[in-house]
């Protein structure tokens, strides 16, 4: 389930209807949260992701990509908001249904995993991803989908991007943990934080 | 089981080495995971107060230098027959013998000043301290440690009273500011400092960012202001003009803390607000509202992060820095929590004059010496650790290098500079935990009192200088050998600290009672020092305080008068009366566009169409329309002195009208390919046309 926090990219009206409610989520499934207010587009997540998977990937092949949203605002020529685009580990992943090779599965804690060795590189998954996420190897053509750092989670560690993000803008967690983090953030100031699971209105270039 | 956000590696490792990142001035704590002596993974040090476990892309990429067979440098020192040619492997000692012999020959034939010593990494203590000592002992006056904005630190010394290094308040204090005024976007290349800006913003601090093009700081600022290239000084003058002419300051209070106010007032009123606004490309109302915002909030914090090629000259930068001190003084924001002057990239470890050595004295400007190598033919030997960012763009520099009799490179990574050398020594900048590590942005010094073994034949750069000095007979000035004739870093650090006033409270690092630690400096008296677990962890928090006397004085500011000296000898010398940026000298109306020293791609966003090129030229859609240029068209850029540069066009509204942005598509960090193009400053007039 993708969650997107931003006070700069969405308007105030949109925010009020999108307050995070942990009760609405399965308590045993992880949630990915992107805090676009803190992302500065530095691309550290890309380097960390590559480093974590460097044994099986070429240099520069990552499962996370920094994107930007641009929208005009009245007091400035334009506003830009950066965010790392990665697999949201959807609750009901469309890519899982459509994959002809059966290379995609969803495991019990919510991670949508891909068996890269099963992947045939047909790229059908990219056509249905609501997050415009899928990314493929330059030479192999096979998917580089985020595996939620499965090998790290096995050892009780959150994925590399979430652990090492330079600005602490990426979170993985169970609903109650996420609720706690968001509450702390809100308590810190007057900024309104918006939790959104929509991808509409976000244009990437 | 709940997962943890722990800085841990899942790779097999048998050792964790904690060290300080030396990629930039921030000084984050890193953890290297090693297996059988090889680096296998990297993470941030969660116990470190600066980065608290995070690592930026510049820090994270270090692992690529060390990981597996990428670490060619770890294996050997090389003597090359000629440039760009494979050489033969030799030992460190053989390499040093070769260099020493060559240097003797060169000195006999061309004199002492034929040697140039350039140290590009100001954070590596033994490298720059011993490097400068060696240069002095050899007798050359051509030696420099890279300090991006040295004049500004000289100015800080004069206006604020003698402390080299220019951070009044540490980043942890920024959350106490009401307004943070960021000049330029250099701060976004020292990524971890951005976190402190965001923290402040989350707590309600208003952020103003002024620059010539879009940047991540702009994206996060409450007031992102784009001004014309080369008009930083005009902009600052405009702000001061409005504050002074509208009386938006407390005259009595300012006079209590500062000298020279009346001269400033007279000076600033010489300019017209409307002229200034027009020059900057802003509406007069915008300038006015910013001035009011700055005047009506207290405390405010000015962060100077302007690149030196963004202003017309080093002098302009000094004037800009000085005007920002005037602004803070008018606002009464220099001696309290959340108020401060933070000029990034200034200062390094406060070196003494090394009076024990009779020899030359080299403490020159790094860029000036680089230019000398290209333009003059007096340099015959170069020892350096710098980086040739881009072989295409540095052709003339590489050409100049090829004419030298001896080029020695102290290499920490396998880049082009390593290739263009007669001898390259594989050094380590990261894996050693040596003497003090100085981090000027953070105004801190950190140390670990020991040297950790690096992989393969990588050794600390200080060892090169130490052994070379020994070989050339300067041993009496380098008495820090241990019984194995290796370098004893603790001893040098101890010596250095005793020599340096700003660290006088550390009577010795060379004691078992002092554990590894770090301080915010200066730490002039013992009362300033805060200890924890036997480690000194903190010195003076605010550099100046209205409430307390500056240590060792009976006044608030350590100047002769005890006040901020807004007008002093240096102020007069730098030419009050010419605060405005000079008008660009446009010989022909053809040269209607200004160049911006554009940042790396990641700071502007993806270009959309894929360009098969190292550079693109960013052009505003309005200009592109007038010139009939489309995305991807091959564009020729010509400067007034007929220099030509070609690259495809990228039509984007992140580049302001009437400017052309030169954007490096490959460079991840902020430093774009302006290296060794001395004349290519922001605001340089150019002509562009379709090829």
Higher-pLDDT residue of B679 and B186 is B186
- Give per-residue pLDDT as tens, B67-103: 655 566 666 677 776 665 667 888 888 899 999 999 9
- How many angstroms separate the CA atoms of B632 and B615, rounded? 11
pLDDT grade, residue B242 (50/70/90)?
very high
Residue B482: CB partners within 8 Å, gap ≥ 6?
A: B488
The pLDDT score that the predictor gives to residue B677 is 54
Q: Which residues contact B97 (CB under 8 A, 6 or more apart)?
A: B471
Label residue B493 by pLDDT band (50, 70, 90). confident
**Distance between CA atoms of B427 and B77, rounded to whole angstroms?**
10
User: For residue B138, how many other CB atoms are within 10 A of its CB?
Assistant: 24
Q: Please compute the mean of the pLDDT values over residues B624-641 and round it to a whole number.
A: 88
| Contact between A203 and A69 (Cβ < 8 Å) | yes
What is the C-alpha separation between B197 and B207, in angstroms, rounded?
A: 8
Q: Which two tokens stand for residue B124?
A: 């590596």
Confidence of residue A14 (pLDDT cuts 50, 70, 90): low
A 10 A CB-CB count for A11 gives 11
Q: Residue A198 has what pLDDT?
A: 41
- B155-184 average pLDDT score: 81
Q: Return mean pLDDT, chain B.
A: 80
Angle between the B395-402 and B366-375 helix axes, to the nearest 10 degrees?
70
Query: Do B61 and A67 count as a contact with CB atoms less than 8 A apart?
Result: no
Q: Which of residues 40-59 of A touch B (CB under 8 A)?
A: 40-44, 46-48, 51, 54, 59
Task: With beta carbons under 8 A apart, name residues in chain B contacting A46.
Answer: 57
SS3 content of chain A, % helix, strand, coil (to 5): 25, 20, 55
Residue of A2 and B141 predicted with greater confidence? B141
Cβ distance of B44 and A79 shorter than 8 Å: no
Q: What's the pLDDT at A145?
A: 86
Instruction: Indicate the range of A153-167, B487-501, B593-607 predicted with least confidence.
Output: B593-607
Considering only CB atoms, which chain A residues are within 8 Å of B191? 40, 42, 44, 166-167
CA angle B111–B115–B118, rounded 5-degree value: 160
For residue A153, what is the nearest residue in chain B, using CA coordinates?
A: B3
Measured between CA atoms, how close is A69 to chain B, in angstroms? Answer: 10
Q: Give the pLDDT score at B531.
A: 81
Which residues in chain B are contacts of A202 at CB distance < 8 A?
none
**Closest by Cα among B442, B481, B396 to B24:** B442
Helices (H), B29-119: 57-60, 62-66, 92-110
- Predicted pLDDT at B271: 85
CA–CA min distance B583, chain A (Å): 26
Q: Which two tokens stand for residue B359?
A: 């020899």
Closest CA relative to residue B542, chosen from B147, B160, B217: B160
Confidence tier at B517 by pLDDT (50, 70, 90): confident
Chain B neighbors of A163, CB-CB under 8 A: 5-7, 43, 53
Contact of A102 with chain B, judged by CB distance below 8 Å, is answered with: no
CA distances in angstroms from B381 to A140, B111, B424, B474, listed in the order given? 48, 11, 14, 19
> B317 touching A, CB under 8 A?
no
- Average the pLDDT over B331-360 and give the result: 76
Task: For residue B40, give how far its alpha carbon lies from the nearest alpha carbon of chain A (Å).
Answer: 10
B4, B41, B56 member nearest A166 (Cβ): B56
Contact flag A51-B42 (C-beta cutoff 8 Å): yes
A158 touches chain B (CB under 8 A): yes
Category of A68 on φ-ψ map: left (φ > 0), alpha (ψ -120 to 50) or beta: beta
Residue B647 dihedral angles phi and psi, to the nearest 5°: -165, 160
B59, burial (CB in 10 Å: exposed 0-12, middle 13-18, buried 19+): buried
In B71-169, at which residue ranges do the beta strands (DSSP E only) sit? 77-79, 88-90, 115-119, 143-145
Which of B5, B63, B220 comes nearest A163 by C-beta? B5
Residue B623, chain A, CB below 8 Å: the answer is no
- What per-residue confidence (pLDDT) applies to A189? 39
Mention every residue, 6+ apart, whose C-beta is less than 8 A from residue B150. Answer: B314, B346, B365
Q: How far is Cα B294 from Cα B614, in angstroms, rounded to an integer?
A: 41
* CA nearest to B580, candidates B504, B671, B683: B683
Q: Flag whether residue B11 sits within 8 Å of chain A, measured between CB atoms.
A: no
Block residue for tokens 């685009």:
A85
- A64 or B344, which is more confident: A64
Chain A nearest CA to B36, separation (Å): 18
Higher-pLDDT residue of B194, B3:
B194
Instruction: Say which DSSP state B515 is in.
Output: B
Query: Is pLDDT above 50 for B675?
Result: no
Alpha helices in B365-480 (DSSP H): 366-375, 395-402, 416-419, 461-471
Instruction: Mark yes or no for CB contact A152/B10 under 8 Å.
Output: yes
Span of A184-198, B105-119, B124-138, B476-490 with lowest mean pLDDT: A184-198
The answer to whether A187 contacts chain B (CB < 8 Å) is no
Asked if residue B238 lies in contact with residue B252, where contact means CB atoms within 8 angstroms, the answer is: no
pLDDT at B404 over 70: yes
**How are beta strands A65-73 and B206-211 bridged, if at all?**
unpaired
Contact across the interface for B216 and A37, Cβ inside 8 Å: no
Q: How far apart are CA B405 and CA B688, in angstroms?
A: 40
**B327-356 exposure pattern, b = at least 16 Cβ within 10 A, e = fewer:** bbbbbbbbbbebbbbbbbbbbbbbbeebee
Nearest to A156 among B1, B51, B653 (CB): B1
B12 touching A (Cβ < 8 Å): no
Would the CB atoms of B55 and A164 count as touching at under 8 Å?
yes
Q: A45 near A146, Cβ under 8 Å?
A: no
Closest chain B C-alpha to A100 CA, distance in angstroms: 30
Mean pLDDT of B137-151: 80
CA of B63: which chain A residue's CA is closest?
Answer: A51
**Do the Cβ atoms of A205 and B44 come within 8 Å?**
no
- pLDDT of the residue at B670: 43
Query: From the CA of B4, how many Å to the nearest CA of chain A?
Result: 5
**Angle separating helix axes B314-331 and B232-245, nearest 10 degrees:** 30
Longest dimension (CA), chain B: 73
In this complex, is the C-beta atom of A94 within 8 Å of any C-beta atom belonging to chain B? no
Least confident of A47-61, B343-357, B599-613: B599-613
Is B608 in contact with A205 (CB distance < 8 Å)?
yes
Give the number of residues written for chain A: 205
Inspect the interface and report whether the beta carbons of A68 and B605 lie closer than 8 Å.
Answer: yes
Partner A, chain B 212-241, Cβ-Cβ below 8 Å: 214, 216, 218-220, 223-224, 226
Each residue's pLDDT tens digit, A169-178: 888 888 888 8
A157/B42 touch (CB, cutoff 8 Å), yes or no: no
Where are the alpha helices (H) located in chain A, listed in sequence order?
12-16, 44-52, 94-98, 125-128, 150-154, 160-164, 175-187
Residue B299 binned pLDDT confidence (cut-offs 50, 70, 90)? very high
Give me the helices (H) in B161-260, please: 191-202, 216-220, 232-245, 251-257
Give the model confidence (pLDDT) of A53-86 as tens digits.
888 887 778 888 887 766 544 444 456 677 888 8
By the CB < 8 Å criterion, does A139 face chain B? no
Do residues B62 and B415 touch, judged by C-beta distance below 8 A?
no
Hey, what are B328's tokens?
Answer: 């803070």
- Whether A108 contacts chain B with CB within 8 A: no
Q: Does A68 touch chain B (CB under 8 A)?
A: yes
Position of tokens 């959104």? Answer: A196
**Cα separation values, B362 from B136, B145, B352, B440, Å:** 6, 9, 12, 21
Task: Please give the pLDDT value at position B34.
Answer: 86
Do residue B60 and residue A38 have CB atoms under 8 angstroms apart? no
State residue B39 phi and psi, 5-degree precision: -75, 130
pLDDT value at A185 more than 90: no
For chain B, the 3-state helix, strand and coil shares in percent, each to the nearest 5, are 35, 20, 45
Which three-class secondary structure state does DSSP give residue B493?
helix
In terms of average pLDDT, the best of A121-125, B3-7, B66-70, B387-391 is A121-125
What pLDDT score does B653 carry?
A: 74
Angle, alpha carbons A35-A36-A38 (nearest 5°): 75
Query: Do the bridges between strand B423-428 and strand B406-411 make them parallel or antiparallel, or are there none, so unpaired?
Result: parallel
- In the predicted model, is pLDDT for residue B671 greater than 70? no
Q: What's phi and psi for B622, nearest 5 deg?
A: -65, -45
Q: Check whether A135 has a pLDDT greater than 70.
A: yes
| Angstrom distance (rounded) from CA B87 to CA B383 | 18
CA of B632: how far to CAs of A84, B192, B648, in Å? 26, 34, 5
Judged by CB atoms closer than 8 Å, whether chains meet at B3 and A67 is answered as no
Q: Are B132 and B350 in contact (CB under 8 A)?
A: no
Q: Over pLDDT 90: what percentage of chain B? A: 20
Q: Which of A38, A78, A157 sits opposite B198 (nearest CB)?
A: A38
Q: Do A42 and B57 touch (CB under 8 A)?
A: yes
* Residue B665 pLDDT greater than 90, yes or no: no
Residue A79 contacts B, CB cutoff 8 Å:
yes
Contact criterion met (CB < 8 Å) for A67 and B67: no
Whole-angstrom distance between the N-terminal and C-terminal Cα of chain B? 63
pLDDT at B260: 86
Cβ pairs bridging A and B (under 8 Å): 130
- Given an 8 Å threshold on Cβ–Cβ distance, is A151 in contact with B10? yes
* pLDDT confidence bin for B180, thresholds 50/70/90: very high
**What is the mean predicted confidence (pLDDT) over B271-292?**
92
Interface of B with A in 589-618 (CB under 8 A): 602-603, 605-606, 608
Inter-chain contact B56–A205, Cβ cutoff 8 Å? no
Contacts of B61 in chain A (CB under 8 A): 47
Please determine, for residue B568, whether its predicted confidence score (pLDDT) is greater than 50.
yes
**Distance from C-alpha of B117 to C-alpha of B106, rounded to nearest angstrom:** 14
């Amino acid at each position: 389930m993708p969650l997107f926090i931003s006070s700069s990219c969405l308007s105030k009206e949109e925010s009020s209807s999108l307050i995070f409610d942990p009760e609405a989520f399965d308590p045993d499934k992880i949630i990915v949260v992107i805090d676009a207010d803190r992302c500065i587009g530095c691309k550290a997540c890309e380097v960390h992701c590559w480093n974590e998977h460097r044994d099986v990937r070429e240099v520069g092949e990552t499962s996370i990509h920094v994107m930007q949203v641009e929208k005009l605002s009245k007091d400035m020529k334009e506003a830009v908001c950066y965010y790392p685009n990665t697999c949201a580990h959807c609750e009901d992943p469309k890519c899982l249904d459509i994959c002809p090779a059966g290379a995609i599965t969803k495991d019990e804690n919510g991670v949508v995993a891909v068996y890269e060795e099963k992947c045939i590189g047909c790229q059908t998954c990219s056509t249905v991803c609501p997050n415009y996420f899928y990314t493929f190897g330059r030479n192999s053509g096979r998917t580089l989908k985020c595996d939620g750092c499965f090998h790290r989670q096995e050892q009780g560690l959150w994925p590399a991007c979430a652990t090492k993000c330079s600005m602490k803008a990426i979170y993985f967690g169970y609903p109650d943990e996420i609720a706690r983090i968001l509450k702390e953030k809100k308590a810190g100031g007057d900024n309104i934080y918006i939790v959104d699971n929509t991808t509409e209105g976000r244009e990437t270039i | 089981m709940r997962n943890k956000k722990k800085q841990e590696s899942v790779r097999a490792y048998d050792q964790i080495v904690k060290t300080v990142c030396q990629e930039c001035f921030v000084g984050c704590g890193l953890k290297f995971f090693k297996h059988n002596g090889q680096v296998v993974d990297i993470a941030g040090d969660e116990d470190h107060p600066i980065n608290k476990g995070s690592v930026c892309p510049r820090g994270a990429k270090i692992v690529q230098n060390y990981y597996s067979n990428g670490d060619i440098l770890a294996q050997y020192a090389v003597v090359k027959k000629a440039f760009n040619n494979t050489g033969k492997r030799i030992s460190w000692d053989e390499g040093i013998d070769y260099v020493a012999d060559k240097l003797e020959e060169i000195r006999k034939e061309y004199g002492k000043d034929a040697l140039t010593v350039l140290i590009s990494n100001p954070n590596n203590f033994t490298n720059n301290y011993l490097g400068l000592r060696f240069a002095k002992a050899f007798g050359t006056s051509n030696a420099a440690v890279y300090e991006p904005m040295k004049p500004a630190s000289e100015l800080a010394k004069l206006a604020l009273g003698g402390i080299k290094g220019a951070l009044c308040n540490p980043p942890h204090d920024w959350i106490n500011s009401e307004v943070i005024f960021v000049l330029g976007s250099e701060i976004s290349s020292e990524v971890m400092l951005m976190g402190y800006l965001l923290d402040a913003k989350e707590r309600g601090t208003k952020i103003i960012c002024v620059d010539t093009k879009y940047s991540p700081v702009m994206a996060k600022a409450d007031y992102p202001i784009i001004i014309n290239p080369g008009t930083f000084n005009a902009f600052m003058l405009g702000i001061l003009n409005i504050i002074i002419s509208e009386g938006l300051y407390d005259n009595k209070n300012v006079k209590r803390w500062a000298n020279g106010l009346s001269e400033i007032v007279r000076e600033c009123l010489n300019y017209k607000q409307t002229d200034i606004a027009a020059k900057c490309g802003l509406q007069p109302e915008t300038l006015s509202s910013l001035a009011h915002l700055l005047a009506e909030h207290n405390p405010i914090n000015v962060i100077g992060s302007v690149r030196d090629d963004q202003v017309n000259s080093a002098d302009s930068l000094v004037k800009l820095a000085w005007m920002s001190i005037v602004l803070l003084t008018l606002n009464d924001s220099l001696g309290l929590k959340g108020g401060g002057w933070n000029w990034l990239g200034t200062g390094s470890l406060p070196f003494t004059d090394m009076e024990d050595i009779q020899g030359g004295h080299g403490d020159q400007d790094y860029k000036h010496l680089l230019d000398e190598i290209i333009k003059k033919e007096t340099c015959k030997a170069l020892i350096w650790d710098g980086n040739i960012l881009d072989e295409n763009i540095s052709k003339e520099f590489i050409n100049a290098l090829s004419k030298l009799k001896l080029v020695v490179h102290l290499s920490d990574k396998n880049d082009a500079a390593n290739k263009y050398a007669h001898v390259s020594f594989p050094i380590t900048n990261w894996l050693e935990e040596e003497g003090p590590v100085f981090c000027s942005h953070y105004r801190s010094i950190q140390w670990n009192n020991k040297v950790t073994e690096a992989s393969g034949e990588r050794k600390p750069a200080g060892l090169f200088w130490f052994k070379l000095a020994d070989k050339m007979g300067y041993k009496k000035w380098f008495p820090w050998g241990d019984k194995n004739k290796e370098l004893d870093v603790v001893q040098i650090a101890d010596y250095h600290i005793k020599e340096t006033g700003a660290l006088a409270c550390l009577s010795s690092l060379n004691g078992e009672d002092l554990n590894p630690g770090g301080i915010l400096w200066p730490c002039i008296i013992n009362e300033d020092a805060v200890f924890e677990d036997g480690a000194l962890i903190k010195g003076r928090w605010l550099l100046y305080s209205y409430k307390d006397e500056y240590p060792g004085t009976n006044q608030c500011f350590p100047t002769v008068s005890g006040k901020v000296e807004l007008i002093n000898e240096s102020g007069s010398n730098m030419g009050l009366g010419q605060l405005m940026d000079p008008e660009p000298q446009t010989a022909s109306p053809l040269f209607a566009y200004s160049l911006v020293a554009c940042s790396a791609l990641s700071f502007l966003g993806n270009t959309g169409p894929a360009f098969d090129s190292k550079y693109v030229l960013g052009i505003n859609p309005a200009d592109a329309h007038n010139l009939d240029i489309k995305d991807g068209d091959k564009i020729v850029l010509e400067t007034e002195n007929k220099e030509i540069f070609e690259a495809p066009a990228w039509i984007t509204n992140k580049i302001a009208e009437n400017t052309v942005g030169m954007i490096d598509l490959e460079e991840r960090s902020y430093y774009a390919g302006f290296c060794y193009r001395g004349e290519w400053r922001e605001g340089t007039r150019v002509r562009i046309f379709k090829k």
